[in-house]
Amino acid sequence: MMDSYVCIDLETTGLDPKRDKIIEIGAVRVERGEIVGEWETFVNPGQKLPERIVELTGIHDGELAGVKPIGEVLPKLLSFLGEHVLLGHSILFDFSFLKKAAVNERLSFEREGIDTLKIARKYLKDLQSRSLGALCKHYEIPHSAHRALGDARATVALYRKLAEAFYEKEEAAGEKSLFRPKPLIYQAKRDTPLTIAQKEQLYKLLDRHKLIVDYKVESLTRSEASRKIDQILAAYGR
């Protein structure tokens, strides 16, 4: 089985990498089967956190106010990852957010990965849920849920449990074995800044309707600005 990799987990403002943002990153580096390093950081998303995310993670806006945005965090993370295979529970979710962030910074980010969720779905069909929390309960793995480093640590332990139980059986599949890393594919387009016309229109709408918003207009992308304008027009008119 793969015994050198980096297990990564993210907390985000939502499920869509095209519009949602990373707020916390946790990573555990394993070499020759031993944990040799851990890395974690908050990330400033540049927007107010949805209440449901605060409730889920326990992370508050105040904790993110003074931390760096993803563009400044990403080089340090990439250095920690090196060229290692990525491990994760639904790894494509985490990869998609990182790929989007890398593309926005004009950085290359191509990796192979192993997904513990796919393994669990194949071999643990009798469980009511194959969420990370449910699997940790099944295997009696200590777990600090919905915090990035806690989830990454738990996923490393889960991977070992799954390998003990199913690695030899799965190796019969050869190259198709779920314990062998596969290329992670996510097509991401670089965000472009809002236009001068969008900025002027948005400021006019905010002033006209006396609106106070929880985001910085100048930091919006073109698509984000378009959505904000449409939302104001739908709610308040011109």
Residues designated catalytic: 146
Q: How would you label 138-166 residue by residue, b for 16+ Cβ within 10 Å and e otherwise?
A: bbebebeebbbbbbbbbbbbbbbbbbeeb
Backbone dihedral angles phi then psi of residue 199, each to the nearest 5 degrees: -60, -45
∠ Cα 189 110 158 (to 5°): 115
d(CA 85, CA 95): 11
d(CA 204, CA 70): 29
Longest Cα separation, the chain: 67
CA torsion, ordered 67, 6, 136, 45, to nearest 10 deg? 20
Backbone dihedral angles phi then psi of residue 60, each to the nearest 5 degrees: -115, 160
- The total of other beta-carbon atoms located within 10 Å of residue 231's CB is 11
Q: Whose CA is closest to 59, among 43, 76, 38, 77? A: 43
